[in-house]
Structure 1
Amino acid sequence: MAFVTTTITGARIFDGERLLDHTAVRLTGGRIAALGDATLLSPGDEHVDARGGTLLPGLIDAHVHLLPGAPRQALTFGVTTVLDMFSKPDTVRDAVARAAGPDCADVRSSSVGATAPGGHPSMMYAPFPSVTGPRDAGRFVADRVAEGAAHLKVLYDDGTGGPMPMPSLDVPTIAALTEAAHAAGLVVAAHVSTARGALDLLPTGVDVLAHVPFDALDAAQVTAIAAAGVAVISTLSVADGFPGGSLPAEPALAARLGPAWRAVLERQQQRWLPPQLPDFGAARVNTRLLHAAGVPVLAGTDAPNPGTVHGASLHRELGYLVTAGLSPAAALTAATARPADVFGLADRGRVRAGLRADLVLVAGHPDEDIAATQEVRAVWKRGVRADLDGYVGSADEQAGLAALRAQTEKVIAAVRDRLGVRL
């Protein structure tokens, strides 16, 4: 990667937690060299006049599932790091290799998540290694470490939060997996969809709940989650795959999506849906209550679930967080400093001297109006300015669309077989 010394002047700078007095940032060698004012500009620097825009840390999506080319797509929307929460090893290897270059977001992955034989998400990803009980925990974690996993994903879901029952890991098995993961230095993110599931797992020592529960949390449950010290990934933007939400309704995002992805989202709006839909209103209330109780809330999209797109949906997620009751500044923190802290990414998530030069310049004042993040003007990954237009129409886009189509067809066949419905 060829580094160019760049100085950005005339910017409002949000450092991941607050607006700074500085107006300029100098980038060299892939790092933030200094913050200050226009006097940082030296002869020979590449000069970027921010013209009153706001400079943010590169955004972090704390919950994705990889598609070929997805990290490249994410970067065009200002997402410089993605935390993958279940992908097959070959997909992860390809994504991590590409992430070494300047045109893709950085990738941290769980590789295969721990689930029971036939458990979620077997319909999409089978075959893959599963866990039958506590005795499997040590070997399962060791195998994920050997694959390069940066964290562990565990799944606790018997289908009660969705349209069909399925096998699930039990609490003792998740406790054993968590113990083995912590011994290996891994953060543990737990898939749960219900309030009961979240409370069941608190004694196991998991670090992160990978979703805000879709059913209402009561006051005692909120207090218990806060006391346990876990973080929660919001994933509110999955609502965009159901009636009432739509990513293409945002002009700035739709323009950057390109026609192929817009067509996918249009088809997804016409898909079969179960009669009982998730209560996204309850999830938003839960998010507000958890945030107010001091629970670290992390912005994550669960892309590419129906209605979501890598990179673009994180901006929708930020909007949902503000609708849920977070301030715009707190929502920005949920996509920058907070996930960096929770997942041990000490070199990013803030605008500070010495950290990675992962930055996004947006128009307007997103710390006051969160919709301003959608107007992405420039993105730097490790100090190299990204090409924001090269993904649409590329081989990466075609590969991602083909993989999504294959996954969708696999899920449709499985649902048709289990439920006996015509999709």
Structure 2
Amino acid sequence: MAITITGVHVFDGQRLTGHTAVRLAGGLIEAVGGPELLQAGDERVDGHGGTLLPGLIDAHIHLLPGAPRQALSFGVTTVLDMFSKPDTVSRAVAEGAEPDAADVRSSSVGATAPGGHPSMMYAPFPYVTGPQDAKAFVADRLAEGAHHLKVLYDDGAGGGPMRMPSLDVPTVAALVDAAHQAGLLVVAHVTTASAAIDLLPTGVDVLAHVPFDPLTEAQVEAIAEAGVAVIATLSVADGFPADGGGMPLLAEPELARRLGPAWSGVIQRQAQRWLPPQLPDFAAAAVNIGLLHDAGVPLLAGTDAPNPGTVHGASVHRELQRLVAAGLPPGHALTAATARTADVFGLADRGRIRPGLRADVVLVDGTPDQRIADTQRVTAVWKQGIRADLDAYLGSADERAGLAALRAQTDKVVAAVRDRLPQFARGGDDQRP
């Protein structure tokens, strides 16, 4: 049965249109227009003056069991995984093919140096020891179904608690060349301005994380001229409450309600965890986003969930708020979570409300193109034209599996940090979920 959603404002992924109705049929958006779209036999959904958005896209996550279902309950219909192991990816891709879960695209295992980030969480996994490993590494990721390649260029100097091994520039260049020959986009993890500039000559396509130290005018210009996109991940700051304050995610009533008691409890306990003395400069990161936006650099909304203080799906709405606070107009922030991410990652069938594209749409109560916090007021989600049960994740086996996996990951990281930082072993708090 076709579905016609009426009485809505329509944000098409780039702008608010004058349309008031959208018809969904056969898993696609069939038509966009006005009341005339409603046909006999259609299921009619009265939008009550709300706004219809393309399904949101989180450009940077790490998978947990059940993450695609949790993401969809917050209006996120596609997630881009930036480092997970093959068995986790295969299960998530299968889950994401179902109507009540977000679609999944993944890098599978990212390319990093032996012992490099994120070994503490994911080891063992294949490493890259030098340029000679590039072709084989990329071929193996393709065999695992990778949609893009992730490379990590980070020695811990950008605010982490310790130094670590890192790929060098020639190795990244070899990986980029091999990936591009295989038709893969390359996403580069960087945390500093100098690291971002180092990698521009290699031809990387996307920088994962805006730098946490101030960008100079020349560096902003270089990034703009290189044509790379930047995944902001400003919501990582939600895991570091200032002066012992509360966790921002829990201060948003609409989001906290959908989180449920189990995940809310995890976030509350994360507020009490041990933190290293040197933290990333989140204020500088926000200023950098404003500068990059003004320079015309494509900015993408990504959360890096499930880092502390972040949750799949929920944190996209916090990311949008932070993008607006950094200087983006609300409409531009919405584009960063829809059309622009779809364009950068070659997802030509989604990210816009346009006839012929996937019927991945989200109905929210309010006008998020004017007040970005209204994205939190999700009233309905359709994925390929099928309306999702937004309450199915809470209390489910998927929720329990995700929480258990997060606890296991956290225990592994805590053990590794205690082994390497004696001061943590003496005084660190238990930060397990």
CA distance in structure 1 between the aligned counterparts of 2:146 and 2:201, rounded to whole angstroms: 24
Corresponding residue of 2:378: 376
For these two proteins, the number of residue pairs brought into alignment is 420
Question: Who is 1:221 aligned against?
Answer: 219
Matches within 5 A, 1:4-403: 4-161=1-158, 162-244=160-242, 245-403=247-405
Q: State the AA in 1 paired with 2:402.
A: G
2: distance between equivalents of 1:246 and 1:11?
A: 30
Q: Please state how far the C-alpha of 1:251 moved relative to its aligned partner.
A: 0.2
1:213-236 CA distance string (max 9 Å, x none): 000101000000000000000000
**3-state SS, counterpart of residue 65 of structure 2:** coil
In structure 2, the residue matched to 1:405 is 407
CA shift digits 1:29-55 (9 cap, x unpaired): 100000111111111111100010000
Residue segments in structure 2 that go unaligned for 5+ positions in a row? 429-433
- Structure 1: how far apart are the matches of 2:135 and 2:388? 40
SS for the counterpart of 2:120 is: helix
> Which position in structure 1 is the counterpart of 2:419?
417
How far apart in 2 are the matches of 1:186 and 1:292?
Answer: 28
SS of equivalent to 2:84: coil
* C-alpha distance in 2 between matches for 1:171 and 1:323: 34
- Deviations 1:345-395 (CA, angstroms, capped at 9, x unpaired): 000000000000000000110000000000001001000001000100000
- Unmatched tracts of structure 1, length 5 or more: none
SS at match of 1:277: coil
- Structure 2: how far apart are the matches of 1:142 and 1:7? 44
Query: Structure 1 runs of 4+ off > 2 angstroms?
Result: none
Q: Give the deviation of 1:246 after TM superposition.
A: 1.5
Please report the TM-score for the alignment, with normalisation by the length of structure 2. Answer: 0.96
Distance 1:24 1:103 in 2: 23
Structure 2 counterpart of 1:215, one-letter code: D
Structure 1: how far apart are the matches of 2:189 and 2:392? 34
Q: AA paired with 1:179? A: D
**TM-score with structure 1 setting the length:** 0.99
Superposition CA RMSD, Å: 0.6
Alpha-carbon shift at residue 165 of structure 1 (Å): 0.6
Q: Distance in 2 between matches of 1:83 and 1:287?
A: 20
Aligned-partner Cα distance in 2 for 1:49–1:130: 53
Aligned to 2:431: none
Helix, strand or coil for the counterpart of 1:258?
Answer: helix
CA distance in 1 between partners of 2:399 and 2:352 (Å): 30
Q: Provide Cα deviations, 1:67-114, integer angstroms capped at 9, x if missing partner.
A: 000000000000000000000000000000111110100000000000
| 1:93-139 CA distance string (max 9 Å, x none) | 00001111101000000000000010000000000001000010000
